[in-house]
Amino acid sequence: MVQDTAATDRSLTGQFRREARLTVERSRRSFDVVLGRSEPDVGLTPKTTIYSRGTMRLYRYTPMVDEVYRVPVLFVMSLISKPYILDLVPGQSLVEYLLKQGFDVYMVDWGVPRPEDHVLRLEDYVLDRMPRCVEEVRRVSKVDDVSFLGYCMGGLFGLLYASAFPESAPKNLACVATPVDFTGMGLLRAWADPRWFDVDRVVDGFGNIPAEFVRSSLEALRPLDRLLSYIRLWDNLWDPEYVRNWRVRYRWVMDQIPFPGEAYRQFIKELMWGNKLMSGELMLGGRWLDPQRITSSVLNAVAEHDHMVPYAATRPLLSLVGTEDKQELVVKGGHVSLIAGLNAVLRLWPTLNQWLAVRSV
């Protein structure tokens, strides 16, 4: 009995010491997080700017292998995301991964809109700036064929470009978490219902839609997510790798970009309300956009549990395009884990590599 009691005391003492040590580590690292000290650097993959216009930049990333695939890959960013989300940190960068697989990688970064950019419309991006970027990629690579890779709205822009310019469409179009059927957008569509959401008043009042407005709308889809992430962070503050990854993800979520006003007005009226891409009625700048004219190879990568762009909104993409070479990849996960993190590293990235590789020679 005495021995059992002593053993129990030693066990309790050991547990107390361990918890005390972890608490010290939590406290020390919590100050780093709260004060923003030693923030992880993101977007570190070497690149050069080969074209610019206003806030827009077209990057070419430095190749990491001696021989690259013939067809270059052009990342098309969303209007409300910064480009580093696809180039987070070494080992968690899709850009870095594709470079190491032998691809010649470029990226369209729309930049942070200035107040005067509130007049920019969807056609300014899809019918004007994107063709100019494609022209530059073709000039630098000395190859006519180009592959597009777009995440969320970036995939939508790639789809709209290919619909508008079937004669100059990308050879390959990879869309990731790309909304096409806006009747499936769940709460975001319900909140934007014209019966209570006056988009004209919002745009006329703000100009560009503030980043805080965009972020709050997305956070409201799962209002407890941030609180739960703080709780999980506290439980794991003793683990430097967990803290580093948490800070990278947190920066991604909080670092939104204002939505150019007129483009937002169009997005709400033509797509969220009118669902005109699905109905075949979408026109930009007087040009009819018909996805059935797309003959590019198309990959539609979707997340089964995406709460921002639900599966109901992404699933119909392949039914819109006219090409016969089309493939769907459904991944268990959410909007962010589809493109970044362990789930992406094991599922999406290898599939993208294999799908692009056989179509890039």
Task: Please give the positions annotated as active site.
Answer: 152, 306, 335
Q: Residue written as tokens 């990308």? A: 170
The 8-class DSSP code of residue 148 comes to E
C-alpha span between 134 and 144 (Å, rounded): 9
- Residue 133's H or E segment, with its range, is helix 130-141
Helix axes 349-357, 94-101, angle to 10 degrees: 40
Calculate ∠ Cα 259-260-265, nearest 5°.
90
Q: Which two tokens stand for residue 257?
A: 């970009």
C-alpha Rg value of the chain to the nearest Å? 23
- Give the contacts of 196 (CB within 8 A, at least 6 positions apart): none
Residue 310: which of 151, 193, 180, 192 has the closest Cα? 180
Q: Which two tokens stand for residue 254?
A: 């909080």
Cα–Cα separations (whole angstroms), residue 78 to 147, 238, 320: 17, 35, 21
| DSSP character string of 21-54 | HHHHHHHHHHHHHHHTTTPPP---S-EEEEEEET
CB 176 within 8 A of CB 301: yes
CB 172 within 8 A of CB 98: no
Among positive and negative, which fits the CA dihedral 55, 60, 154, 253?
negative
Q: Could you give the count of Cα atoms lying within 13 Å of 361 in the half-sphere of its Cβ?
A: 5
Q: Residue written as tokens 């007005």? A: 265
By three-state DSSP, how is residue 66 classified? coil
